[in-house]
Every structure is written in structure tokens, then in C-alpha cells.
Structure 1
Amino acid sequence: MAKARTRREDRPEIILDAAEALLRRSGSRTLTIDAVAAEAGLSKGGVLHHYASKDALVTALAARKVERLRAGIGEHAAALAASRARMPLAMIGHAREVYAEECGFPDSLLIATAENAEAVAGFRSFLAERLRDLAEIEARPGAGAAFLFAILGLMMSRSLGFHELDGAELDRLFGALEAQARALPEG
């Protein structure tokens, strides 16, 4: 199976997986093309063939994260009945799942992304899409944005190490957000 992953068309994913592993293990300061190449078992030229610079690599990592966010929220939304609460509940459900698995937005990717305008633009675009989605279902002005930024604040503050909530505390917070979403009036 390992040999199948070394095919040329698989290399961009192999490189992104290696970069992600480095970020998780050692942080953004160790993310270099040389380190990614060593982690991926490729030459530096092999990495540069797919990602011309560290910035291009970080942009690709951020784009992959955004796609995973879209897919995760979409999966949760598909499992819910149509209602005003559907999108907030889908976002809360996905955030709860990612938070519990501790595979969310690692602080090192957050730091690397913050230093890369193109990567930041991808996240801004994603957030603008979510705000538009939420505005369409708002029964109360600003309610959708409040859900989004409450979830984002919880996730980012964890990534940055501002808190370490235990399971009961986390469950209580997500439960409160879900209750607020379910309380949105229909109409």
C-alpha cells in the first residue's frame, strides 16, 4: 500500500500530510521545504515541483483545512431536518466532533496561516460564506454571526492554549449553543 501512495499524482497529498505531521509534532518554526521533503520521503525538488515555496505549501494546507470544514459541516447539515437551526446545529456538531478528536486547527497551522495573506484570504472567504448562509436563516438579527463567532472563539482559544476544558465543561458549552440554535423561531 505504501508504494501506491508514492505515485506522482499522490505526491501533493503526501506532501501536505507530511507538512501537517510536522506542524502537529514540532510547530510552525520547523516547517521548511527540507523538513517536509524528509518527512515525506521525497527530494526537496519533488516538494518544490508541487509547492514552489513554503507560502504555497501553507496556502495549500489552509485550503485543505477549509475543504475539510466545508465537508464536515455539510455532512452534519445533511443529517438534520430543514429548519432555521440546521446550519448552526451543523456547525456546532462539526466543531464538537473536531474538538473531541483534537484534530482541529492546530496552533502551528494557525500561526503559519496568519503569516500568509493568501491562506488568510481562504479562511476569510470561508467565514464570509458561513455568515451569508447564516444571514439567510436569521430570525433575530445577528444570531447567526453570534453562533459562528462563539464556535470560532471556542476553537481558536483552544488552539492557542487559552483554556483546557474538560469533557463536562465542553459538553455544557456545546449543549448551551445547541439549545440556543434549537430555540430559533421558525418562520
Structure 2
Amino acid sequence: MTKARTRREDRPEIILDAAERLIRRSGLPTLTIDAVAAEAALSKGGVLHHYASKDALISALAARKLKEIRADIVAREAAQPPGPAAIPLALIDHVRAVYADEDGFPRALCLASADNPEASAGFRDLLMEELDTMERIARRPGAGAVLSFATLGLLLSRMLGFHQLEGEPLARTFAALEAAARALPEE
């Protein structure tokens, strides 16, 4: 396979990588098709060939991020002891791992996705999958939803800048979430 062919096949990822670098470096306002093209060392037409608009680019970034999130949660679930707490503990472990992400990309992507119906649908689908799974596992009406919303609410509140727990208060919060997950009844 030639380099040109490989590069052409890799262009969608090259473009997404460039868009993510722009957002991380300078924030969402710098995300334009022209800026992404310059960052990716491609023509504007080359970017538009793969992503017809800024919204399409944001949707693709969101889809890629959701794929990463799902894969991380699945990997973390596999590392848990079998039982009803495995999935909620995997979600809690994922949130703990990404809680202190300081580079601004998660916040920017979250905000951009809120204004983009296609991108927000992916996040909504993930949330609904997690809620359904947690409710099925919890076997007590509402218990799974409470655990899901508490865990995700902690992360979203941090991402949106509403609060930032650190040190002992953060450790106590994660310990309380884990205790609630472990208290789920066996099937």
C-alpha cells in the first residue's frame, strides 16, 4: 500500500486528532474548518470531504469519545469481581480516572454536544444504557438511577466547573459511591 493511499484512509482520524488538539490547546471557539485544515496540514476541501460541517466534526468527535468511554468501562468491568457491583464499580472507577482531566477537552466536547442533536443523542444513549443496566442490576426501583446519577453528576459538575472536590472529600465521595455499589443485592 502506498503512503498516499494510507494517508487518505487515515484522513478522518487525522482530522479528528487535529480538531481535538485545537480544542485542548485553545478551546472550542477556535474549532473552525479552516483551523482544523491548517492543524491537520490538509486543504479545507479535504476536511469538508470527510466532515461537511463543524457540527459533523463535533458529532464525529463525540462518537469517538463515546467509543473510548464504552471501551474503558467494559475493560474496568472485566477487572472487577463477578457480581452485581461489577458494572457500577466499573463506572465509578472510570469517573475516578477521568475526574481530574484538566485540559478542557471533556468540558468543551460536552458543551458542544449539548448544542448538536446528533452528538447529544450519543451521550443520551450512553446514559440510558447505563441507567437501564444499573436499574436491572439494582433490583430495587430507583436504586440504580440514584447510583448512576450520583456518579455521573459528580463528573459533570466537575467538568462544568460547578465544583471541584479534592483530597479527603473526594476520596470520601468515591468511597460512598463504591459502598452503595457493593450494597446492591445479589441476584
TM-score over 0.5 for the alignment? yes
Partner residue, 1:69: 69
Partner residue, 1:82: 82
Contact in 1 for aligned 2:27/2:104 (Cα 8 Å): no
CA change 1:169–1:105 in 2 (3 A) is farther
- For residues 170-181 of structure 1, the aligned pairs below 5 Å read 170-181=170-181
Aligned-partner Cα distance in 1 for 2:147–2:181 = 8
Aligned-partner Cα distance in 2 for 1:38–1:126 = 33
Bigger shift: 94-103 or 121-130?
94-103
Pair 1:131 & 2:131 matched: yes
Aligned-partner Cα distance in 2 for 1:14–1:21 = 11
Partner residue, 2:95: 95
Aligned-partner Cα distance in 1 for 2:116–2:178 = 33
Secondary structure at 1:178 match in 2? helix
Contact in 1 for aligned 2:84/2:184 (Cα 8 Å): yes
Partner residue, 1:54: 54
Partner residue, 2:150: 150
Aligned-partner Cα distance in 2 for 1:180–1:143 = 9
RMSD: 2.1
Give the total of aligned pairs: 185
Aligned-partner Cα distance in 2 for 1:104–1:98 = 12
Partner residue, 2:109: 109
Aligned-partner Cα distance in 1 for 2:101–2:32 = 27
What residue identity is the alignment partner of 1:129?
Answer: E
Contact in 1 for aligned 2:24/2:105 (Cα 8 Å): no
Contact in 2 for aligned 1:22/1:39 (Cα 8 Å): yes
**Unaligned ranges ≥5, structure 1:** none
Aligned-partner Cα distance in 1 for 2:146–2:104 = 20
Partner residue, 1:118: 118
Please list the CA deviations of residues 53-79 of structure 1 after superposition, one character each: whole Å capped at 9, or x if unmatched. Answer: 101000001111111111011001111
Aligned-partner Cα distance in 2 for 1:158–1:64 = 22
Partner residue, 1:41: 41
- How far 1:51 moved relative to its partner? 0.6
Secondary structure at 2:63 match in 1? helix
Contact in 2 for aligned 1:98/1:104 (Cα 8 Å): no
CA change 1:54–1:45 in 2 (3 A) is same
CA change 1:8–1:47 in 2 (3 A) is same
Partner residue, 1:166: 166
CA change 1:104–1:143 in 2 (3 A) is farther
Scaled by the length of structure 1, the TM-score of the pair is 0.91
